[in-house]
Amino acid sequence: MTEGAIPVARPLIGDEERAAVDRVLRSGMVVQGPEVAAFEEEFAALVEGRPCVAVNSGTSALHLGLLAAGVGPGDEVIVPSFTFAATANAVVLTGATPVFVDIEPDYFCVDPEAVAAAVTSRTVGIMPVHLYGHPADMDALRAIADRHGLALFEDACQAHLARWRGRPVGAFGDIAAFSFYPTKNMTTGEGGIVVCADETVARKVRLLRNQGMERRYANEIVGFNTRMTDIAAAIGRVQLTKLPGWTEQRQRNARYLDTELANAAPDVVVPKVAEHAEHVYHQYTVRVPDRDEVQARLAEAGVSTGVYYPIPVHRLPSYADRTGSLDLPVTERACREVISLPVHPSLSSTDLDRVVAAVAKAVAA
Ligand SMILES: *Cc1c(COP(=O)(O)O)cnc(C)c1O
């Protein structure tokens, strides 16, 4: 990858994934079946053995997980606004109301003090996002949830294998959702998984996934078709075996960028990692002055970057009429300053040096 532009994300799909898909296609059993069941069991090993239910996207995982946890009309769920819209959309789709709170500036995750201040008599849950692969402060959030009798949900769509105090994210919440979209740390094409605190919730998610049926034509509740295919699960099973190595490579790349950028571009604020956090660098996100200009200069230098997120969810057209004059200054500032640099595991050392040199030049200009 030393020729041409360096992409900001790059799904790694190899011969083993192709062989696994071929095996499924030859079997003739392409819809949800044994590969999905095996994928769920193998994923469970990453989240302390909790029951897992695979679905067709991270958004479905959030939506079905919240429904299975009993969230519905009249309820409030506290969420960050500095996230992908799917976090809040999943709440709205249950009929509940997302209550947006600010983030803390160092790790870009919800600020526990803001969460505590937002609790009302209608609040039923808190849903932090482990943004960019950095876990939210699960000690503080668990304490708030317990103090007020609230559920704790996790949007872990960007945080496969991230840890808080040595425990994997996904193993803290009443439900947690992961995504397997191609730009995430592992992929199934499209896909997601719900991690459930217990078998009762998992059974409910399974029903919701499949028209409310456990036995065919014995529909118990009204549900969706949000099943994962065996084709997708077969890809995911291979990807799971590679995820630990990729994660270590992301972490090595991040350490390299930390050190080199500190020397070459001291005005760039590199990502901080909280004391009890293990960051898996779904994104390597820095703050720079004149972000849009820096991004344009990097593009000219052949370094693709991303801005996650330029507009806070509460200011999106789909939310503006619900949130009115809500002011979240730390979020707004992050939206103006953040830029995500390539950190993915297929970067060569030459690529990394090109990124550092281009950033130094773009910031100095
Ligand atoms: C990707 C993502 C989602 C949604 O996942 P999809 O698989 O794209 O539906 C939800 N929340 C966050 C924070 C994400 O990054």
The Cα–Cα gap between 310 and 306 comes to 10
For the CA of 131, the nearest atom of ligand 1: 13
Cα-to-centroid distance, 287 and ligand 1 (Å): 22
* CA within 13 Å, CB half, 79: 30
Out of 89, 127, 179, mutate this one to test ligand 1's pocket (max ligand atoms within 8 Å of CB): namely: 179
Domains 15-238 and 243-364 agree in fold = no
Tell me which of 42-51, 55-64, 316-325, 331-340 is least confident: 316-325
Topology given in CATH for the domain delimited by 15-238: Aspartate Aminotransferase; domain 2 (3.40.640)
Q: What is the pLDDT of residues 101-133, one digit of tens each?
A: 999 999 999 999 999 999 999 999 999 999 999
Cα-to-centroid distance, 72 and ligand 1 (Å): 21
Give percent of the chain with pLDDT exceeding 90: 97
Pairing of strands 151-155, 123-126: parallel
Domain ranges of the chain: 15-238, 243-364
State the maximum Cα–Cα separation within the chain, in Å, rounded to a whole number. Answer: 66
Joined tokens for residue 228: 């994962």
Asked whether the beta carbons of 78 and 126 are under 8 A apart, the reply is yes
pLDDT at 2 over 60: no
Mean pLDDT of all residues belonging to the chain: 97
For the CA of 181, the nearest atom of ligand 1: 7
pLDDT at 3 over 70: no
Question: What's the CATH class of domain 243-364?
Answer: alpha beta
Looking at residues 205-223, what average pLDDT do you find? 96
The Cα–Cα gap between 155 and 192 comes to 11
Out of 66, 84, 226, 307, mutate this one to test ligand 1's pocket (max ligand atoms within 8 Å of CB): namely: 84
Looking at residues 12-20, what average pLDDT do you find? 96
Looking at residues 235-248, what average pLDDT do you find? 98
- For residue 365, what pLDDT is reported? 85
Asked whether the beta carbons of 69 and 153 are under 8 A apart, the reply is yes
Asked whether the beta carbons of 267 and 261 are under 8 A apart, the reply is no
